[in-house]
């Protein structure tokens, strides 16, 4: 099959730890055609949605390591119609470009897309997590989302806890996540001014969330495929940073899912599948869901390293991709045969 990865630029890839590269390498290893483009490379030619792609040349033997694969891959640029691919794997970093989804709307019935466009529209920012909450906050920590500074300050003052988490709505990789304390209320107004007014728009939503006890010990990243957990790791903050993201200096360790974490996955899995969110990463602290990452969830290479699995996570993901493409092709073929029968009647 032929797969197009819509992602960040090839030159921005970490050749030793990049999840997208692990998926691309696995596809190439199986003999699939692989092309890559960024959202800015989408274009329309003669009313057909195309992309200026970097196509990876076929290899007689795919190198065993990610770094050597990255270094030996030969790329050529081609303008290709997206409807000609069997699958599109979306791996671009936040924030989501809504115009890009409009381009892809024209091919969504022809190509299997991970994750689905509707699911991406609903879940591309941290508001989606609130869809799993309830009145008792059994699943998610108590959360407030607003751009009203007066309201946010009031919530901080009324909180029973001494600490809360403040973060931008569209951040990723731990960017902009800070720990605030009531003992430093003199700084809260200036912090909120900065977060709300940062950027070109001048008015941004921010998230204020209850601090979960034990968060200083890190969080758990769980990768879910078709609603089921396929890998997990514990992320531990560095000595000088409260964030546990590896990109922010955190480290990783093995983690066996607890009973509460398995129950959490079982509870949210059906909604993820229903929304077409087939490959996601969730962040969990103390059994509570903190974030759902649907755009470019990472962690495959780190999970493989700490567990030394014979069956690597990317193999399971590409197995799933192949099965969904086969199902779609069989459905197209069946419909064509039935139409032919009607035409010939």
pLDDT tens digits, one per residue of 35-90: 999 999 999 999 999 999 999 999 999 999 999 999 999 999 999 999 999 999 99
Task: Take residue 326 and report the two structure tokens written for it.
Answer: 């086969």
Tens digits of residue pLDDT in 301-321: 999 999 886 779 999 999 999
Average pLDDT for 180-192: 84
Does 126 fall in a domain?
no
The number of distinct structural domains making up the chain is 3
Does 170 fall in a domain?
yes
Task: Take residue 197 and report the two structure tokens written for it.
Answer: 């007014």
Three-class SS state of 51: strand
Nearest to 306 by CA among 243, 246, 233: 233
| DSSP 8-state code for residue 90 | E
pLDDT > 90 fraction of the chain, expressed in percent and rounded = 66
Nearest to 174 by CA among 92, 97, 221, 244: 244
Q: What is the pLDDT of residue 191?
A: 87
Taking the CA atoms of residue 64, residue 86, residue 222 and residue 301 in that order, the dihedral angle to the nearest 10 degrees is: 20
Domain finish residue from 168, 195, 210: 210
Average pLDDT for 161-189: 81
Q: What is the pLDDT of residue 199?
A: 55
Domain carrying residue 52:
2-114+314-329
Tens digits of residue pLDDT in 18-35: 999 999 999 999 999 999
Are 191 and 222 part of one and the same domain?
Answer: no
Q: What is the pLDDT of residue 161?
A: 82
Asked if residue 297 lies in contact with residue 313, where contact means CB atoms within 8 angstroms, the answer is: no
The whole-chain average pLDDT of the chain stands at: 90
Q: What is the pLDDT of residue 68?
A: 98
Among 36-40, 74-78, 94-98, 221-225, the minimum mean pLDDT is found in 94-98
The CATH number of residue 247's host domain is 3.30.470.20
Are 83 and 17 part of one and the same domain?
Answer: yes
Does 17 fall in a domain?
yes
Among 101-115, 228-242, 281-295, the minimum mean pLDDT is found in 228-242
Does 132 fall in a domain?
no
The CATH number of residue 16's host domain is 3.40.50.20
Does 196 fall in a domain?
yes
What is the rounded CA–CA span in Å between residue 153 and residue 11?
42
Are 92 and 29 part of one and the same domain?
Answer: yes
Among 172-176, 197-201, 296-300, 329-333, the minimum mean pLDDT is found in 197-201
Sequence-distant (6+) residues with CB within 8 A of 171 are 94, 126, 177
Q: Is the pLDDT of residue 136 over 60?
A: no
Does 343 fall in a domain?
no
Average pLDDT for 206-233: 92
What is the rounded CA–CA span in Å between residue 295 and residue 67?
23
Does 345 fall in a domain?
no
pLDDT classification of 91: cutoffs 50, 70, 90: very high
pLDDT classification of 235: cutoffs 50, 70, 90: very high
Are 168 and 266 part of one and the same domain?
Answer: no
Q: What is the pLDDT of residue 226?
A: 98
Domain finish residue from 183, 210, 237: 210
Q: What is the pLDDT of residue 94?
A: 84
């Amino acid at each position: 099959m032929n797969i197009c990865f819509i992602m960040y630029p090839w030159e921005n890839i970490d050749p030793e730890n990049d999840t997208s590269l692990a998926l691309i390498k696995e596809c190439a290893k199986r003999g699939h055609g692989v092309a890559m483009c960024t959202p800015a490379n989408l274009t329309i030619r003669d009313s057909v949605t195309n992309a200026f792609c970097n196509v990876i040349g076929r290899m007689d033997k795919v190198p065993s390591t990610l770094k050597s694969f990255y270094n030996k891959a030969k790329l050529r640029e081609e303008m290709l119609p997206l409807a000609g691919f069997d699958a599109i794997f979306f791996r671009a970093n936040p924030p989501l470009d809504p115009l890009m989804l409009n381009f892809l709307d024209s091919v969504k019935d022809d190509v299997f897309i991970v994750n689905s466009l509707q699911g991406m529209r609903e879940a591309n920012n941290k508001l989606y997590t609130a869809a799993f909450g309830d009145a008792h906050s059994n699943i998610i920590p108590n959360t407030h989302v607003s751009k009203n500074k007066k309201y946010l300050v009031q919530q901080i003052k009324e909180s029973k806890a001494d600490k809360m988490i403040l973060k931008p709505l569209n951040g990723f990789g731990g960017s902009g996540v800070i720990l605030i304390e009531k003992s430093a209320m003199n700084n809260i107004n200036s912090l909120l001014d900065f977060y709300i007014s940062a950027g070109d728009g001048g008015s941004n939503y921010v998230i204020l969330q209850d601090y979960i006890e034990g968060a200083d010990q890190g969080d758990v990243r769980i990768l879910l495929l078709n609603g089921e957990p396929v890998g997990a790791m514990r992320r531990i903050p560095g000595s000088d940073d409260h964030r546990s993201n590896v990109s922010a200096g955190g480290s990783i360790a093995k983690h066996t899912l607890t009973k509460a974490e398995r129950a959490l996955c079982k509870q949210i899995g059906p909604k993820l599948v229903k929304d077409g969110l087939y490959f996601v990463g969730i962040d969990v602290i103390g059994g509570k869901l903190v974030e759902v990452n649907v755009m470019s969830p990472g962690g495959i290479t780190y999970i493989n390293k700490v567990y030394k699995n014979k069956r690597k996570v990317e193999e399971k993901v590409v197995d799933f991709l192949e099965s969904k493409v086969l199902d779609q092709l069989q459905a197209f073929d069946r419909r064509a045969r039935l139409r032919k029968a009607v035409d010939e009647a």
